Structure 1
Amino acid sequence: MAFDYIAGQVTAQKQQARYRQRVCLQAAENAAQQQGTQILVDGKPYINFSSNDYLGLNNHNEINKAMQEGVARFGLCASASSLVTGFHYAHQALEDKICQWINKPRCLIFTSGFSANVALFQTLGQETGKDRAHFFLDKLSHASMLDGAFSSKAKVKRFAHNNTAQLAQLLSSSDVQNKLVASEGVFSMDGDQANLIELASVAKQHNAWLYVDDAHSIGVIGEQGQGSASVLTNNNQADITMATFGKAIATSGAFLACDENVHDYLINFARHYIYSTAISPALAWATIRSIELIQQEQWRRDKITELSTLFIELLDSSIEVIPSASSIHAIIIGDEQKALNVSEQLKNQGIWLTAIRPPTVAVGSSRLRVTICASHNYNDINHLASCLNKALCK
C-alpha cells in the first residue's frame, strides 16, 4: 500500500507525547479577546500566553483602518508576482519605510519569514566549485534557516549556541571566499539574545558576511523597535537582516534588508520571490501604519520589560527559566508528557500556555514558552505565576 508509513508515524507521535493538532479560535466576544489578551476555544475564554503579538498591536483600530483604506485604494489581492504586475505603490512605500527604519539601502518583501529564510540561503548557496559558499549557523537557529541552508549547495557548519570562540575556529578552517555567519537575534524557543557585537566582529575578522533573523526582536528591541541588529555600529553592521510582520508588527509577511547588489541578485535568482504572488497591497499599507505606531509608542516596549520583571519576581526560585531580556520566557520542564500535563493544568485555570516539545526543541528540554505582551496586565501576570508555582512546586 502506498505511503503506509504515514499512519505508523502519526501513532508514534502520540506514543511519544509529541502529537500535534490545531485549535480553532472562535470570534472575539469582548474587549479583552479583541485586544488579544484572551482567546476563546470551545466556548471557554483563556488568558493567552502563547501569542507572538508582543506589542499588543493585533486588531489595533488604526492598523485596521489602514487595512480598509488599502483595500479601497489598491484592492485586497496583488494579483501577480512582484516581477509581473504584482508590485504596487503600497509595496514600494513599505519597503521605503523599512529601509529608513532599520537603516538599510534596500529591502524585499516576502510572503513569510520561512520563505524569506529559505530563499536567502538557497540563493546565496546555489553556486558550486570555487564559488561554493560556506554557511555557519548557530546551533539553535530557526528551522527555516536550517532548511534553507541544508537544501542549498553550500557547505554547512553549526556552532554551539552563542559560542563565538568555536565560530572563529570554524571560520579559520574554511578556505573559501564566500562565508556567511547566521544567527537569530532573539532565539525563538529560548528568548535569549545573540551577542551580535561579537558575531559581527568575528565575521569581519574572517571576511564573512553576517545574517540576522530578527523575527522575534523586531518591534521589541531598539529605541524605535528596529530589532536586535540596532546595537551594531555603522562600521560593523549585519550585512543582511530578515524580520517578519506576523509577530510584533501584527500583520503578515516578512522582509529581507540588504545592500543594492544583494537586492538585485535576489530579484533575479530567488525563486521564492520570483514565483510567489506578492503580499496583499492592503496588508502592506496596514504594515506601514503598524511600523509608525511601533516607532512612536515606546510605552509598549517598556511595559513588556516591566511585566517580565514582575513575572520572574513572582515565580518560585526553584522553577528553571532561561534568562531573557525579550518577551519570551522559556520554563524548562524536560519530559514531553510532563510538559503536556502542566499545560493542561493551566488550561483548567483559564490559562493558555502551549507545551513545546521535540523536534522543535532538543529531547529532554520540553518547555512552556511564556510570551508576555504589552496587552497583558498585572492581574494576568499574578495569576500566571501563581498557577505555575502550584503546578511546578509540589
Structure 2
Amino acid sequence: MLIEHLNRQLRERAGQSLTRQRRTAMSPCGSHPRVMHEGVERLVLAFCSNDYLGLANHPALVAALAEGACRWGVGSGASHLVSGHSEVHAALEGDLAGWISPCIPGARALFFGTGYLANLALLTALGDARATLFADKLNHASLVDGGLLARAHMQRYAHGRLDVLERQLQNCTTPVRLIVTDAVFSMDGDLADLPALLNLAERYDAWLIVDDAHGFGVLGPQGRGSLAHFDLRSERFIYMGTLGKAAGVAGAFVAAHPTIAEWLLQVARSYIYTTAAPPAIAHALRASLELITGEEGARRRVWLQQRVHQLRDGLAAMIAQRPSLDWHLPESTTAIQPLIVGDNERALSLSSALEAQGLWVPAIRPPTVPLGTARLRITLSAAHAAGDVERLLTALRIAS
C-alpha cells in the first residue's frame, strides 16, 4: 500500500509540473560549472548558486580548509557538549561575536552545522508555552518548521504587513513575544523593514529574531549584514547568520544576549544532539571572515552590485518593450532577482529554453512560492562577469 500511495502522489505532482530534479555538479562551485543531467555532461553558465561573493572555490579558503584538516583532522568526533568542541570552534565563535557586536552589544555566538539546525534551535528552545511567535508568511521553511515544532502559539502576518503585526502584538497576552523574520527574503530578494520591526519590538516588549542568511557578507559596511546595513543596534536582536552562502564555506551561527546563547546551549535539541561540524570548517571560516571584511571583500560587493544593476536595467527594458510577456520583476536590490512568470509550466518551459542555450537558471514553483507566482530565481555572484549577465539577457530575449 505504501508504494502505491507514494507513486500516486508522485504522479499527481508530475501532473501539476511540480516534480523536482537533481543535477550533479562535476566541478567546483562557480559561475561556469560542469554539470551532469540526464546522462549528459556539459559546461553551463549558472545563475542559481548562493555563493554571492564567489568565495566557495577561493584559493585562500581552499588552502585554509586543507590547513585546518592537517591540524585538526577531518571530523569532530562528537557533539559540542561531549568532546566535539575544539579550540578553533571557540575561536570562530569569538570572531562571530565580535563581528555582530556593533549591532548587538555584548553578544555571544554559537556555531551550528547548518542554518536549518540553527533556526530549529532558536524557535523550539525560545518558543515555549509562555511565548507567542509572530512570523512573516514568506519566512524560510526552516523558520516555519521551527515554529510548528515549538510549543508556543504562532501567529503569521501577511508579508510585510506590519500594521497586522502591530494589532497582533497589541492583543497578545503571553509574557514572551518573539517576532520572527527573514532579513532578505530568499525567493523575492526584498529586505524586511528591520528599523520598523525593531520599533515594534521595543514598543511591545518583544524580541526580534532575524534570519540573515542572504544578507550576511553582502550587505552593510564590511559585509556585516542587514543589521549593519540599517545601522541598527539593540540587545533585542537574536541573529542567525548562514556561513555557506556569501561566506563560501558551511555552517551557521546564532548571536544574541549571553543569557539567550547559554539557554540555547543548555536546551536546544538541534545543538545538543548533533555531531559538531568538522573543526577544519571552522578554521576555513575564520579565513573567510578576513576576506569578507578586507579590501577584496569590498571590491567583490561593489562588483556584485554592478551586476545587479546591469541585470535589472536589462530586464526592465525588455519588459517595457514587450508587455505581452506578462513578466514581473519585483523590487530587489540584492543578489536575488526573481523573474515571476506565473504558471508552473511556463516557468519550466522558460528554464528549459535557457538550458538549451547553456544557461542554468532554476524554475521555482509552489509550495516554495505562493500559487500563481512560479518564477525564475536568478541569483548573481561576484564571480559573474558583465558578459555573463549580457548573455543571460540575450538568452531570455531569444527564449521569450
TM-score (norm 2): 0.93
What letter is aligned with 1:226?
Answer: R
Task: Report the CA distance between 1:24 and its aligned residue.
Answer: 1.0
Aligned 8 A contact 1:232 1:238 in 2? no
The 5 Å alignment of 1:327-338 reads 327-338=335-346
Confirm whether residue 376 of structure 1 aligns to residue 384 of structure 2: yes
SS of structure 2 residue aligned to 1:180: strand
Aligned length: 383
Aligned 8 A contact 1:213 1:242 in 2? yes
What letter is aligned with 1:107?
Answer: A
SS of structure 1 residue aligned to 2:240: strand
Equivalent-residue separation in structure 1 for 2:131 and 2:395 (angstroms): 49
The 5 Å alignment of 1:172-187 reads 172-187=170-185
Q: What does the per-residue CA deviation read over 1:196-227, in whole Å, with 9 as the maximum and x for residues that have no partner?
A: 00000011100000000000110110111111
Confirm whether residue 111 of structure 1 aligns to residue 113 of structure 2: yes
What letter is aligned with 1:278?
Answer: A
- 1:298 is matched with 298
Task: Report the CA distance between 1:39 and its aligned residue.
Answer: 3.6
- 1:307 is matched with 307
Equivalent-residue separation in structure 1 for 2:277 and 2:33 (angstroms): 28
- 2:260 is matched with 262
| Alignment root-mean-square deviation, CA | 1.4
Aligned 8 A contact 1:138 1:159 in 2? yes
Identify which range, 226-235 or 279-288, moves more after superposition: 226-235
- 1:321 is matched with 329
- 1:125 is matched with 127
Evaluate the alpha carbon distance shift between residue 148 and residue 370 of structure 1 in structure 2; reply closer, same or farther with a 3 A threshold.
same
Confirm whether residue 388 of structure 1 aligns to residue 393 of structure 2: no
Task: Report the CA distance between 1:37 and its aligned residue.
Answer: 3.5
Task: Report the CA distance between 1:40 and its aligned residue.
Answer: 2.7
- 2:366 is matched with 358
Select 2:226's aligned residue among 225, 228, 246. 228
Confirm whether residue 85 of structure 1 aligns to residue 83 of structure 2: yes
Aligned 8 A contact 1:357 1:367 in 2? yes
Confirm whether residue 347 of structure 1 aligns to residue 349 of structure 2: no
Select 1:40's aligned residue among 26, 31, 35. 35
SS of structure 2 residue aligned to 1:255: strand
Aligned 8 A contact 1:35 1:60 in 2? no
The 5 Å alignment of 1:80-229 reads 80-103=78-101, 104=104, 105-126=107-128, 128=129, 132-229=130-227
Identify which range, 161-170 or 364-373, moves more after superposition: 161-170
Equivalent-residue separation in structure 2 for 1:15 and 1:235 (angstroms): 49
What letter is aligned with 2:277?
Answer: I
- 2:280 is matched with 282
Q: What does the per-residue CA deviation read over 1:264-290, in whole Å, with 9 as the maximum and x for residues that have no partner?
A: 101110011001000010011001101
What letter is aligned with 1:193?
Answer: L
TM-score (norm 1): 0.94
Identify which range, 326-335 or 104-113, moves more after superposition: 104-113
Q: Which runs of 4+ in 1 moved over 3 A?
A: 34-39, 231-238
SS of structure 2 residue aligned to 1:379: helix
Aligned 8 A contact 2:124 2:149 in 1? yes
Equivalent-residue separation in structure 1 for 2:137 and 2:155 (angstroms): 9
Task: Report the CA distance between 1:390 and its aligned residue.
Answer: 2.7
Evaluate the alpha carbon distance shift between residue 356 and residue 235 of structure 1 in structure 2; reply closer, same or farther with a 3 A threshold.
closer
Equivalent-residue separation in structure 2 for 1:387 and 1:233 (angstroms): 39
SS of structure 1 residue aligned to 2:57: coil
Please, which runs of 5 or more residues in structure 1 have no aligned partner? 29-33
